[in-house]
Structure 1
Amino acid sequence: MAQLYFYYSAMNAGKSTTLLQSAYNYRERGMQVEIFTARLDDRYGIGKVSSRIGLQAEAHLYSPETNLLDLLGNIQKTDSHPGIDCILIDEAQFLTKEQVKQITHIVDEFDIPVLAYGLRTDFQGETFQGSHYLLAWADKLVELKTVCHCGRKANFVVRRDSSGHPIRDGEQVQVGGNDSYESMCRKHFRELIW
């Protein structure tokens, strides 16, 4: 029986690397894997999932308007493989509530496992919509860990301006990497943001 997995963490915990390793493992066994990533994050190319250690793979793009059930149906119509064995979703924090419902439908009705990878919280310590519903509805929750500069587990992300000062307000979504964000433990996040 298929399940919905949510692999979550702060930035720089290896979510994309873990996703790409999972894709490799399925494909090595002759299984069909489809990878999805958010259209808004094109730092490493359009339609690609890339890890900081240099691994990458082609991916289908989704935006808030994308119906994942329709997209899956279109992929199955054009694919020569008899069926999809697993769906991997990068940047899952950007999914909408409706899209998380759609992936639960894929798991429950089509018996296809879905492995979603994303941030748990934004730079203000608030959950993203996708993360909120994945935390509530996933069958399995798996925390990927990274460390704060102090050595404690980092489970928050601080957004910084071009001068390195912490930002406390602004739009929830601003695509960026190590130049804009830093993962921190709650203590250091609290000292800067709360």
Structure 2
Amino acid sequence: MGDATTPGVLRFSYGIMGSGKSTVALQVHHNLTRRGLLGVLCTLFDRDGTAVSSRLGVSRPAVEVTPEVDLLAMAHEFALVNGTLDFLVCDEVQFYAAGQVDQLGAVVDELGADVFAYGLLTDFRGRLFEGTQRMMELADEHVPLSVEARCWCGRRATHNARLVNGAMTREGETVVIGDTEAPETPLFGDVVTYELLCRRHYVEGLTG
């Protein structure tokens, strides 16, 4: 890692909400840094803002990948300042632009760094996110996360359903930040939450 002559890997690990992707991202980052490797933790639209946070309560500051961020330029600058770049750990890659996913591929090819990317597969409409689609097209490895979330009926959950004030919706902006639990004190008029459903109950629109 950290040498353009040494092949790196672009690995995309994916699942639905509740599948533990942020927890795994934090664990991978922790393990790599403990080995003395140098890298960057990145995210976008995390529930804690400019951090990668797990529902287990673990959080770590991260670089926010806003649309204007050039990840390849950032990686080259990090390598110039620190002498090397061994890895990037990127959470919430479903929200990255397709061009930024291309930049992650270039980080692997030009710098020999490993890129560990984590994200959701589909949005609340059951369609691939832009960043996810490009990642599936470009990644060297595709790894489904092993933690299985469950629908209210007990079957394996496969879809993230969006609820607005408790009612399931299939319309609206692709990116609306929410969680699987409603906030105790809503800050705005509508309360947006997400429920994990199996395919059957997602299609039928039956929530728990």
User: How big is each residue's C-alpha offset from its partner over 1:119-152, in whole Å with a ceiling of 9 and x where there is no partner?
Assistant: 1000000111000011111111111232222222
Q: Which residue of the partner structure matches residue 67 of structure 2?
A: 64
State TM-score, norm by structure 2: 0.85
State TM-score, norm by structure 1: 0.91
Structure 2 residue 10 is the aligned partner of structure 1 residue 8? no
Q: Distance in 2 between matches of 1:43 and 1:87?
A: 20
Q: Distance in 1 between matches of 2:62 and 2:78?
A: 12
* Post-superposition offset of 1:42: 5.2
* Superposition pairs of residues 37-76 of structure 1, within 5 angstroms: 37-38=43-44, 41=45, 43-44=47-48, 46-76=49-79
Q: Computing the radius of gyration over CA atoms, which structure comes out larger, 1 or 2?
A: 2
Over the aligned positions, Cα root-mean-square deviation in angstroms equals 1.5
Q: Which residue of the partner structure matches residue 187 of structure 2?
A: none
User: How big is each residue's C-alpha offset from its partner over 1:13-37, in whole Å with a ceiling of 9 and x where there is no partner?
Assistant: 1110000000111112111121011
* Superposition pairs of residues 64-143 of structure 1, within 5 angstroms: 64-79=67-82, 82-143=83-144
Q: Which residue of the partner structure matches residue 194 of structure 2?
A: 181
Q: Name the SS of the counterpart of 1:154 in structure 2.
A: coil
Q: Distance in 2 between matches of 1:42 and 1:105?
A: 24
Q: Name the SS of the counterpart of 2:142 in structure 1.
A: strand
Q: Distance in 1 between matches of 2:46 and 2:99?
A: 23
Q: Distance in 2 between matches of 1:174 and 1:102?
A: 25
Q: Distance in 1 between matches of 2:126 and 2:33?
A: 36
Change (3 A) 1:96 1:185: same
Q: Distance in 1 between matches of 2:155 and 2:23?
A: 22
* Post-superposition offset of 1:191: 0.9
- Asked if the contact 2:78–2:84 (Cα under 8 Å) also holds between the matched residues in 1, the reply is no
Change (3 A) 1:87 1:143: same
User: How big is each residue's C-alpha offset from its partner over 1:142-174, in whole Å with a ceiling of 9 and x where there is no partner?
Assistant: 112322222222121000011x11011111110
- Any stretches of 5+ residues in structure 1 without a counterpart? none
Tell me the matched-pair count: 187
- Asked if the contact 2:38–2:86 (Cα under 8 Å) also holds between the matched residues in 1, the reply is yes
The percent of aligned pairs where both chains have the same amino acid is 37
Q: Distance in 2 between matches of 1:137 and 1:68?
A: 16
Q: Which residue of the partner structure matches residue 167 of structure 2?
A: 165
Q: Distance in 1 between matches of 2:103 and 2:118?
A: 16
Higher mean displacement: 114-123 or 69-78: 69-78
- Any stretches of 5+ residues in structure 2 without a counterpart? 1-6, 183-192
